[in-house]
Amino acid sequence: MSPLVSWALLFAANFMWALQFTCIKLVEDQVGSLFTVWGPMTLATAMLYPLVRNVQRQPDYVDRRRKSDVWLFLMLAALGVFPGQVLITWGTRLSTASNAALIMLTLPLSTAVMAVILLGERMTRLRWISAALAITGVVLCGEVDWTNLDFGTGYLIGNLIVFAGTLGSAFFNSYGKKVLRRYSPTEMIFYTYVAMFFLMTPLVLWREPDVFARIPEFTTRTWAGMILLTFFHNYLSNVLFLKALKHLDAIQTALCNYLITFFGVPIAAIWLGERLSAMAIAGGILVLGSTLLITVGEARSAARAQAAAELAAREQA
């Protein structure tokens, strides 16, 4: 695959992921947070099944599945996809699609924090500074009435919930590497979606059973949001990204975090008519700065460490 095609697939996948925030706002009047995640993901799971079967029929496919892997996927679903989808959906409903798209820029920072927790990596000075900048930016995006300390007038609570949701996505990105040792990326997504179905179905039936009876009453706006979430956000975006993943280097993969916001904010502005205040823009700049700091800074640190290791190896030789 040519680099041009690879980049085109990457841009298309991230454009579809960026639709999530606007789609959540489109369906919020008729669909609850749980059903907003459960419905599209359940349909996308069925659509992914033929792709999984095709992977398993390949001559070089080696079945290394274990019964205990069920717990891996349940963990990925419960600690990764569930907060990454449900909390972001809930937080976006309490905030704005533009704010949620901006806060997604904290994903590299969240991934770094998750590496500290899961992999025992050190919380460096650079990471502390990035964390402080990111949290300050999230608070500024909340547009809180600081004069009267009325948090209800802004979007702070919703923004913090979206921020918490990025920790789930970071967990999926980090812990998912263990699953990829024995499963293809398509299988990992499919089996995690299956685990999500078993986790979420009882919750949906308990908390939002009335949504099923109201499906015939869905407006065109609601159907548009649900269809976009199903086909583009949960299904086609993953297919295109996994196809491009084979031809991407680390820098291109890191750019995904920026593309989601790059597409998400203008989509919300065009479709929902949202506008960012001066304070929200300032917060977004801080969030972007924290992300650039940790992305570029740690990339340079890794490059220096690799160069030092190569130099030491040459001296020993």
Tell me the range of 153-162, 213-222, 269-278, 280-289 where mean pLDDT is highest.
Answer: 213-222
Structural domain tally of the chain?
Answer: 1
Quick: pLDDT tens for 122-148.
Answer: 667 776 777 677 677 666 655 544 444
Domain range holding 277? Answer: 3-59+66-316
pLDDT value for 22: 93
Quick: pLDDT tens for 259-277.
Answer: 677 677 778 878 888 776 7
More confident residue, 88 or 146: 88
Q: How confident is the model at residue 245 (pLDDT cuts 50, 70, 90)?
A: low
pTM of the model: 0.77
Quick: pLDDT tens for 144-162.
Answer: 444 444 444 567 788 889 8
Averaged confidence pLDDT in the chain? 79
Q: How confident is the model at residue 62 (pLDDT cuts 50, 70, 90)?
A: low
Distance, CA of 71 to CA of 85 (rounded, Å): 20
